[in-house]
Amino acid sequence: MAYLLKVAGPIAFCLAGLGSEAHATVLTATGTFSNGSVLTGTVTIDPGIGVITASDLIISGVGEFANIVSQFNFGPPVYYSAVINDTTQTDQLSLGLLADSLIGYTGGDLCSENTGACFASVYYPISNPIDEVTLVSGILHGGSAAVPEPSSLCLSFSALAICFLLLKYRIPRAI
């Protein structure tokens, strides 16, 4: 029985971790607004479930946009849209991604005046949303490479350990 617990315990622990796998793709944003402000920074997307999980976008002369307020796939002509507040809660960025879904998303053009296929991304003061500044051109690029999840590695090593123990102790197989 003690042997069974030694073998089954780590396996159960590793299998429990499979439900909490984290997938993240960090994309770099670049762009230019109609007033000359420049968009830089990163957006973190979970392409497995298709959501933006973090924003570290900066608009020169305006601020850092990190507080995700909402996001939704509206379909054409709006496509995927995320509303992100700046850290001072005075300005808001409506970021449009030229994608029907973020599941499997690896980057691409941002909705802008140059894309023409969707409503352009804009930023504006929260107190006066009509006073918006339009993105002329922009892109998300440079997705990070896939990395094995810790729970997957644990499961793989557990399987190897079981094979080693079966060979070492020559436990008979059930027929």
pLDDT in tens, 26-64: 999 999 999 999 999 999 999 999 999 999 999 999 999
- For the chain, the first-to-last Cα distance in angstroms comes to 21
Q: Is the pTM of this model over 0.85?
A: no
Residue 52 to residues 29, 96, 116: CA-CA distances in angstroms? Answer: 13, 12, 23
Q: In this predicted structure, what is the pLDDT of residue 64?
A: 98
Q: CB within 8 A of 75, min separation 6: which ones?
A: 100
* The pLDDT of residue 153 is above 60: no
